[in-house]
Chains A and B, each alone.
Chain A
Amino acid sequence: MDRAERTALFTAVTFLGIFFGLLVYAAKGMNVDVPTCITDVKPFTEGKVIQHAPNRYEIHYLARMWYFEPSDVEIPAGSTVDIYLTSADVIHGFHIDGTNVNLMAIPGTVAYARVKFDKPGVYHIVCHEYCGIGHQDMATKIVVK
């Protein structure tokens, strides 16, 4: 390897090292993390909204061909929501627009994410994993007042 090649390799590895350091910092230092394996909540068969405190909610989303349970949810601005997600049939997707909540609903498993809704508005949720002929109709929303 000549000098130019070593420089190129060093530059590439340095850049990738910086990128990786930043994403680890975001994950561990700023709690922007991807879903993990949770075993304390079993897959459920109905969707529901549970209010623990004025600004603390837990929503159990059940994805089905081709709708989400619960459908539209209303919560006050500033709420922190624990989202649990499972599927009653095939694999579905779950993406809350404008947030970092991006989950897969896989039957037999439960996905989890926590999100705080500071700004009022309509947060659209679309199913973004192909789930059959009605896939393009599968959406719901969270209205933050």
Chain B
Amino acid sequence: MRVDSSIRTVIVGEIVFAIVLLIFGIYHGLMQVLYRAGVIKSMSFLGIEYYQGLTLHGVINVIVFTTIVIVALGNAVFLYYLQKPLRPAVQWTSFIMMVVGTLMAAWAMFTGKANVLYTFYPPLVAHWTFYVGAALLLVGSVIPLFFDWLPNYVSWRRENPDKKVPLAVYGMLINHIMWVIMLVPVVIEVLFQLLPLSLGLVQEVNPSLARTLFWAFGHPVVYFWLLPAYVMLYTVLPKVVTGDGKLYSDGAARLVFILFLIFSFPVGLHHQFTEPGITNNYKLIHSLFTFGVAVPSMLTAFTVAASLEYSIKSKYPELKNSLFYWWTKIPYISLEGDKWLVSYFMAGLFLFFVGGVTGIINASYNMNLVVHNTSFVPGHFHTTVGGLVTLVFLGMSLYLVSKLTGKDIKFKGLAVIAPWLWWQGMLIFEYAMSVAGIHGFPRRTNTGLTYLNPDSPLYRPEWVGYAELSVFAGVLIVIGFVLWAISFFGTLLSSPVREPVLELPSAEAYHDEKMPALQKLTPWVVFSSLLFLVSYIPPLYDVTKRGVFFDSPGYNDKSPVPITKPPASSKSE
């Protein structure tokens, strides 16, 4: 379909802005492995400190890049499937808010005023611009839902009372409704705890309460990143894998989205298993719900594999009775038409398989004692968000930019190889980090200065090999990204050869059941919000009334002297 040029500029602008920032994020990723292995034995490199770079790597890659790309994908999906124009005023407001917010937070981070990592746990405090910037970015990202997508969805439903809403719209809508719900606790944390503390309006906060509110957001947010990738797995992958494949089951896909809506929220305590101040049985309940939220991903594994099998076998009827051989017919490396996208999806899926297994280990309550805050955790999430999510986003970004600007994809060969280098690098990275983590290698630590420094009294030789392996992995990943970037910017800077259009490959469903219970979203949203609330009443009672004896003043990362409490009152110590 043709797209208004203003809207086209916004969508392409969002993608390009996110990608330009991602370059900084990935650069700091490479720096991380170099520091950690002691290749760079220093507190800072080119004026950026280790922990400052880690903050940039985290915030850019999983807060800014993901959020903005998801908004761009949402715009594309709602526009393409509902065939209703988006409102330029709404889109520009949202885009500008996200850019301004990002720049504010970036200023605080690049000037070293926010070395608090992307979880910003108090009592470490950042400059207020970091919190206000993050808040602007998040508010900007929900504007399209309220003023563009929901009105379009409602009028589409009115015009098509007998039709099911398209699956992609269904998934993206649930994803953004979840986004709004999960923002409530983190907005409370930032507005009522962190921002007043950083502005000096209050002198103390309750860090346990802040962590609990943060993880009430911090877990569902990983599904906010994941669900758009799932939407693409369901609608795009089966279509492009053979040129005309089908999604195995539409009903199963919708059930998956509803299960995510229900189970994404009451699970945050699985990030707080090792914390004092929260009764362990509440943690066990959240662990059970976390196992619940693994079910929709396992169902997705089935549906996606079944769709691949169905699509391959309908193209190669001679493979009808093959159990395993059809896997070899998937176009893992193909330059034909849109099949280059398959590389991104398949490499992402293979990584996600590992990420799912390690995720269930993390969620396993007492087993978390072995791996909590070790490098096992970054190993896990680099195969989920750094694996499937990022690869699908990179692939779809290249695809959308090429369509929306009317340009052919340049250096397609590099674009097809890139995800496989990324995959190989991430796999080695995950292996090194996970195994080292089981041996106690901590995350978020400039280990090159002490634990991996033979001259330090803290030297731990047993970690050296794994850290060196992760350097090799990091280099592979970066080469993969550079190949992708050559293709992306080559495409962006080439001259148009076609009329700019918006197109999304969309697979039809093989099994297309009605499932009326899943069509009305409101009851599910209400149920899920209530479950969220109920699951958090006991732990919130613990961290506000029972387990926490006093609040804490704010600190910066450079000094053990509080920065928010006047010296007079700290005398009582």
Contacts and interface: CB of A to CB of B under 8 A. Distances in A.
B483 to A, nearest CB: 33
A16 B51 CA distance: 37
B560 A97 contact: no
Interface string A12-55: 11001001100110110000111111110011010000000000
Given A135-B444, A136-B451, A43 B549 contact: yes
A131 B557 CA distance: 7
A57 B522 CA distance: 56
Choose among B272, B291, B368 the residue with the greatest number of A CB atoms under 10 Å from its CB.
B291
B288 A33 contact: no
A135 B51 contact: yes
Contacts of B121: 90-91, 129-130
Interface string A101-113: 1111011111110
A112 B465 CA distance: 33
B276 A39 contact: no
Interface string A58-99: 000000111000000000000000000100011101010110
B157 interface: no
Interface residues on B, range: 35 or more
A90 B511 contact: no
Interface string B286-298: 0110010011001
B275 A104 contact: yes
Interface string B347-369: 00000000000001000111111
Contacts of A32: 366, 369
Interface string B268-304: 0000111111111101100110010011001100110
Given A13-B295, A91-B123, A129-B444, A34 B208 contact: no
Contacts of A101: 369
B424 interface: no
Contact of A35 (B274, B444, B460): B274
B274 A137 contact: no
A93 B251 contact: no
B290 to A, nearest CB: 10
B132 interface: no
Given A20-B288, A34-B368, A38-B276, A139 B458 contact: yes
A34 B273 contact: yes
B373 interface: yes
B413 interface: no
Contact of B366 (A23, A43, A131): A23
Main secondary structure of the interface of A (DSSP, over half): loop
A90 B306 contact: no
Contacts of B275: 35, 104, 106, 109, 111
A56 interface: no
Contact of A8 (B277, B294, B302, B460): B302
Given A109-B549, A135-B51, A102 B369 contact: yes
B373 A93 contact: yes
Given A89-B555, A107-B552, A128-B373, A9 B299 contact: yes
B43 interface: yes
A37 B276 contact: yes
B274 A2 contact: no
Given A93-B373, A128-B445, A135-B445, A26 B277 contact: no
Nearest to B539: A37
Contact of A136 (B115, B281, B445): B445
B20 interface: no
Given A19-B360, A102-B370, A108 B557 contact: no
Given A16-B294, A34-B365, A91 B207 contact: yes
Contacts of A45: 573
A137 B447 CA distance: 9
B284 A24 contact: yes
B491 to A, nearest CB: 39
A129 B275 CA distance: 12
A2 B49 CA distance: 55
Nearest to A85: B276
A34 B369 contact: yes
Contact of B443 (A98, A110, A128): A128
Contact of B365 (A2, A27, A132, A133): A27
B440 interface: yes
Interface stretch (B135-143, B332-340, B540-548): B540-548
Contacts of B445: 126, 128, 130, 135-136
A74 to B, nearest CB: 17
B249 interface: yes
Contacts of B546: 37, 39
A43 B473 CA distance: 43
A108 B207 CA distance: 8
B252 interface: yes
A95 B458 CA distance: 15
A95 B370 CA distance: 9
A114 interface: no
A109 B251 contact: no
Given A38-B276, A45-B573, A89-B123, A8 B299 contact: yes
A89 B207 CA distance: 11
Contacts of B552: 89-90, 107-108
13 contacts: A1-B252, A4-B306, A13-B295, A24-B365, A36-B279, A37-B279, A65-B559, A90-B123, A102-B373, A107-B550, A124-B460, A129-B444, A135-B446
Interface of B: 43, 49, 51, 54, 115, 117, 121, 123-124, 206-208, 211, 249, 251-252, 272-281, 283-284, 287-288, 291, 294-295, 298-299, 302-303, 306, 360, 364-370, 372-374, 439-440, 442-447, 449-451, 458, 460, 511, 513, 542, 546-552, 555-560, 562, 573
Leading 7 A-B pairs by shortest Cβ distance: A111-B276, A12-B298, A128-B442, A8-B302, A65-B560, A36-B280, A128-B373
Given A5-B299, A132-B115, 17 more contacts: A12-B299, A16-B295, A19-B291, A24-B365, A26-B366, A27-B280, A34-B369, A37-B276, A38-B547, A90-B123, A97-B440, A109-B208, A126-B445, A128-B372, A128-B443, A133-B49, A135-B444
